[in-house]
Amino acid sequence: MSSTPAVPAIRAWPRVTGQRMRRLAAVLLVAVWTTAGMPAHADTALQNTPELIRNVLEAVVNITVRKDMKRVSPAAEMAAATVSSSKPDHTAPPDIKTFIGSGFVVDPDGLVVTNYHVVEDAFEIKVMLPDGTVLTGTMESASRLADLALVRIHPDHKLVPVHWGDSNKVAIGEQVFAAGNPFGIGLSVSAGIVSAVNRDIQSTPYDDFIQTDATINHGNSGGPLFDMEGKVIGVNSAIISPTTGSAGLGFALPSNSARFVIERLEKYGWIRPAWIGVKLQQVTEDMAQAMGMSQPQGAIVAWVLPDSPAHKAGLEVGDIVLQYNNQTPQDERALLRDIVATPVGTTVPLVLRRDGVQHTVSITPEVFPRDQWAKQDAPLATERPKIVIPPDLGLNLAPVPKAEKMSLGMTDGLTAVLVAGVAPDSDAARRGMTDGDLILRVQNKSVATPAQVQAGIDAARAAKRNYVLMLVLPKVRPTPGPKWMALQVGVDG
């Protein structure tokens, strides 16, 4: 068995109204908890459950994304491979697939949090609000290691954001409920308890998951895990199951960790973690016996990078870190999290054991080198195209990556939009347009973005014209130079 992202290919997404879904969810949750025989101290929370759920669901959203499987990264392709194939979409090229997930509002102006694996490599992001409104979203920034992404939408009114809870106070046995879009059926809730905390499912070196038996399925990824006060204590991120369904092993990123990542992404565009330049390993029982220790304790230094803060502080390979900044981490994952969260430039005490003798040194963490961090975390500034698909034309459109302008035959000052794919049997395909062509003009206006191409198409349609005129520089040119093409803009084109 292995952990898998809780995001599948979409099968169906009924347009169930948010009010009706909240009513059904509340009834279901009350029924489950009423028959569970809750202790007396939870009576007040139980009585207020329907109202509480109605309120918190105003901040939960459904997310639908489209991905061009020819362009996705290996990591995203692996995540997609863990779920069943999407329902065939005969209006899109065969490599275009649709996936679903969940998210929640953290800013009333339209900032949504979800898992990174939900939106990774997506060229189209659609966010459905609880009232059924569907808005286009764009990924502002993300962290692969934290598996979190910020998606911006532009609503015409203020949204209801979530209230954060303190995940450090979460206790085993505490009652919780999860909200999201399981299997794409629509906004749903499920009840359960906290089964464990600080779970290591070996997804990152920093794992600190809340485990719950509240039902989490594929599609719940990115949705919130609430406590009985309606506060978010986690972000539902993964499941472990021998099947494609829930086996009662769901995992949520703790809210305190999520807030740290979100605040850093909003402020810097990346996590900007602190760094001391060491490789650490948890001291095991066998290691402890080999070093003459009565019991395993601390994290042993496996490597020290030259000119790093650790090197400057005098740390050596073989040292055992016992305390950091006056705290005793319970394992090396907690120690790494403490280091990452340290304010850069702040000098803190570090207690270590060397040759059986305890020492205290001062260490000043620096910013993790950005180029090295980018190799581990999600790339934040890439040339990956953002594709817009006008379905009636069957074109996948993308900005021309800078690195490809020379190879595509573009000269200085020439603007264009890349044809990243053409749907089979579309009017564009029938007229010879193909992947790699460049659109230079639409209705004799220069274009530089997919949005400008779409605007030209919309203008032709608004003028009640049957065709839109495009100046195209073919990828394969039997004769030199571009050529004009007229594409049908009707719904049957």
CATH number for the domain including 171? 2.40.10.120
Q: Note whether 459 and 344 are same-domain residues.
A: no
Model confidence at 409: pLDDT above 60: no
How far is the C-alpha of 308 from the C-alpha of 282, rounded, in Å? Answer: 21
Q: What average pLDDT does this structure show over 217-226?
A: 91
Q: Note whether 58 and 120 are same-domain residues.
A: yes
- pLDDT, tens digit, for every residue of 119-169? 998 888 999 999 999 999 999 999 988 999 999 999 999 999 999 999 999
Catalytic residue among 141, 167, 195, 221: 221
Model confidence at 278: pLDDT above 80: yes
Distance (Å) of CA 367 to CA 320, 336, 351, 404: 23, 14, 21, 32
Model confidence at 457: pLDDT above 70: yes
Establish whether 147 is a catalytic residue.
yes
In a domain, 190, yes or no: yes
State the residue range of the domain holding 450: 395-488
Band (22; pLDDT cuts 50, 70, 90)? very low
Catalytic residue among 68, 147, 213, 227: 147
Q: Give the SS3 label for residue 234.
A: strand
Q: Please identify, among 223, 240, 271, the residue that sits at the C-terminal boundary of a domain.
A: 271
In a domain, 333, yes or no: yes
Q: How many CB atoms lie under 10 A from the CB of residue 153?
A: 22
In a domain, 373, yes or no: no
Q: What average pLDDT does this structure show over 313-337?
A: 92
In a domain, 448, yes or no: yes
In a domain, 380, yes or no: no
pLDDT at 88: 47
Of 363-377, 412-426, 440-454, minimum mean pLDDT range: 412-426
In a domain, 376, yes or no: no
Q: Note whether 254 and 293 are same-domain residues.
A: no
Q: Note whether 254 and 284 are same-domain residues.
A: no
pLDDT at 442: 92
| Average pLDDT along the chain | 80
pLDDT at 453: 92
Ramachandran category for residue 452: left, alpha or beta (phi over 0 → left; psi -120 to 50 → alpha):
alpha
For residues 281 and 402, which has the higher predicted lDDT (pLDDT)?
281
Q: Give the list of residues 6+ apart from residue 407 with CB closer than 8 angstroms, or none.
A: none
Q: Note whether 225 and 346 are same-domain residues.
A: no
Q: Note whether 248 and 279 are same-domain residues.
A: no
For residues 34 and 185, which has the higher predicted lDDT (pLDDT)?
185
Distance (Å) of CA 253 to CA 156, 187, 296: 31, 20, 27
Q: How many domains does the chain have?
A: 3
How far is the C-alpha of 353 from the C-alpha of 351, rounded, in Å? Answer: 7
Q: What average pLDDT does this structure show over 41-69?
A: 77
Q: Note whether 163 and 289 are same-domain residues.
A: no
Q: Give the list of residues 6+ apart from residue 405 with CB closer than 8 angstroms, or none.
A: none
Model confidence at 54: pLDDT above 90: no
Q: What average pLDDT does this structure show over 308-318?
A: 94
Band (42; pLDDT cuts 50, 70, 90)? very low
* Cα radius of gyration (the chain): 26
Q: What average pLDDT does this structure show over 363-370?
A: 92
pLDDT at 83: 38
Q: Note whether 420 and 477 are same-domain residues.
A: yes
Of 54-68, 199-213, 215-229, 350-364, minimum mean pLDDT range: 199-213
Band (92; pLDDT cuts 50, 70, 90)? low
Q: Note whether 342 and 464 are same-domain residues.
A: no
In a domain, 155, yes or no: yes
Q: How many CB atoms lie under 10 A from the CB of residue 300?
A: 21
Band (403; pLDDT cuts 50, 70, 90)? low
What is the residue-wise DSSP string for 261-298?
HHHHHHHHSS---EE--EEEEEPPHHHHHHTT-SS--S
Q: Please identify, among 246, 271, 296, the residue that sits at the C-terminal boundary of a domain.
A: 271
Catalytic residue among 3, 68, 102, 117: 117
Q: Note whether 158 and 293 are same-domain residues.
A: no
Establish whether 213 is a catalytic residue.
no
Of 37-51, 116-130, 178-192, 314-328, minimum mean pLDDT range: 37-51
pLDDT at 428: 86
Q: Give me the CATH number covering residue 298.
A: 2.30.42.10
pLDDT at 112: 97
Q: Note whether 360 and 404 are same-domain residues.
A: no
Q: Note whether 247 and 343 are same-domain residues.
A: no
How far is the C-alpha of 493 from the C-alpha of 491, rounded, in Å? Answer: 6
Q: What average pLDDT does this structure show over 49-54?
A: 82
Q: What average pLDDT does this structure show over 310-331?
A: 93
In a domain, 377, yes or no: no
Q: Please identify, among 220, 242, 271, the residue that sits at the C-terminal boundary of a domain.
A: 271
- pLDDT, tens digit, for every residue of 70-90? 766 655 554 443 333 344 444
